Chain A
Amino acid sequence: MDKTNGENLKESIQESPESAKDSLAAIENTMLRTRKAVAASYSSPLMILWGLLLAIAYTAAHFYLKYAAVIFWTMAGVGTAGSYLVWWRLLRKIPFKEPTEEKINLRLGALWWSLFLYIFIWLSLLAPFNGKQMNAFIITAIMFAYVVMGLWFTAYFMVWLGLFITAVTLTGFYFLGHYYCLWMALMCGGVIFCTGLYIKLRWK
């Protein structure tokens, strides 16, 4: 917007600098609130779902370590089915429609399926490893995707969440030994769940 237009329009707006400041603040506040509401509509239900599933799976794995593989595969299956269900409901209920939404959704779907394919490839290349190593590797790889998505969509809460979960995963992996799963239930599942809930309640 060039200065000449602004200057011309300025003549037609009868506002004092103070009230102009208030008007501008109100406009910026509404724009920020809308952007947050758009981000919340898409991310919060999925974060609540996955946070809850991770917390349950890690807690169950701590007490039934022998069945950890079954527990995590079940969680992945339920989570994937749940994600599609949530997404399907969201597309019907969501109060916004972006023109590029369909293409972005397809690309996001492709991104996550590619990531899981590559995780599978890397795991087969890196084998042998123990369950804890595999788990920490998968979580940090997923958090890497969070960071990339956050940077790409300028959704910085995803960048911080990705970095935070990576840090707690490494802390649990290197320092907490036997309590790794309980730590992850609280600090990974719990934090993702609470972040999703906070976004849902506060960014409406």
Chain B
Amino acid sequence: MSALTALDPGGQMDFVYLRDQLKVTDGNLGAHLSKLEEAGYVKIEKTFVARKPRTFIIATGKGRDAFANHISALRQIIKDG
């Protein structure tokens, strides 16, 4: 989510790029993304670019809000020491 929310709202990230950044397997990332998609935190779009299939991941508004809340909670824990 941190990589996805670094893009502008509505920004899409390639599945392969995300997998390489996180150093996980296709299956592992796919499983995580399915959970996030079920929760409505991400949207997965399959498309063709130059006749090659590409999968792009988008953080939804709900996902961005939940992630912002998570960061805020972490900051609160640090602040309260």
Chain B residue nearest in CB terms to A21: B78
Contact residues of B between 33 and 76, Cβ < 8 Å to A: 49-50, 56, 68-76
Interface size on A, residues (CB 8 A): 34
Q: A6-B73, A24-B71, A98-B11 are in contact. Are A35 and B78 (CB under 8 A)?
A: no
Dominant SS at the A interface?
helix
Q: A13-B77, A92-B50 are in contact. Are A31 and B3 (CB under 8 A)?
A: yes
How many chain B residues sit at the interface, stated as a range, is 20 to 34
Q: Is the CB of B49 within 8 A of A92?
A: yes
Residues of A within 8 A of B72 (CB): 1, 3, 5-6, 9
Chain A residue nearest in CB terms to B8: A98
Q: Is the CB of A96 within 8 A of B21?
A: no
Give Cα A97 to B13, complex, Å.
7
Determine whether B7 belongs to the interface, using a CB cutoff of 8 Å to chain A: yes
Cβ contact of A30, chosen from B3, B11, B50, cutoff 8 A: B3
CB distance from B17 to the nearest CB of A (A): 3
A-B contact count (CB 8 A): 96
Cβ contact of A17, chosen from B6, B9, B73, B80, cutoff 8 A: B80
Q: Is the CB of A34 within 8 A of B6?
A: yes
Q: Is the CB of B77 within 8 A of A30?
A: no
Cβ contact of A97, chosen from B11, B70, B76, cutoff 8 A: B11
Q: Is the CB of B14 within 8 A of A6?
A: no
Determine whether B27 belongs to the interface, using a CB cutoff of 8 Å to chain A: no
Q: Is the CB of A96 within 8 A of B68?
A: no
Cβ contact of A38, chosen from B7, B70, B77, B81, cutoff 8 A: B7
Chain B residue nearest in CB terms to A6: B72
Residues of B within 8 A of A33 (CB): 3, 21
Residues of B within 8 A of A27 (CB): 2, 71, 74
Q: A38-B7, A92-B49 are in contact. Are A1 and B78 (CB under 8 A)?
A: no
CB distance from B13 to the nearest CB of A (A): 6
Q: Encode contact with B along A3-39: 1 for CB under 8 Å, 0 otherwise.
A: 1011101101101110011011011101111110110
Q: Is the CB of A96 within 8 A of B74?
A: no
Q: Is the CB of A13 within 8 A of B74?
A: yes
Q: Is the CB of A30 within 8 A of B74?
A: no
A1, A15, A28, A37 pick with most chain B CB within 10 angstroms: A1
Give Cα A111 to B28, complex, Å.
44
* A residues at B contact (CB < 8 Å): 1, 3, 5-7, 9-10, 12-13, 15-17, 20-21, 23-24, 26-28, 30-35, 37-38, 92, 95-100
Q: A20-B74, A33-B21, A95-B14 are in contact. List 11 more A-B contacts (CB 8 A).
A: A9-B70, A12-B73, A17-B81, A23-B74, A26-B2, A27-B2, A31-B3, A34-B13, A92-B49, A95-B16, A98-B11
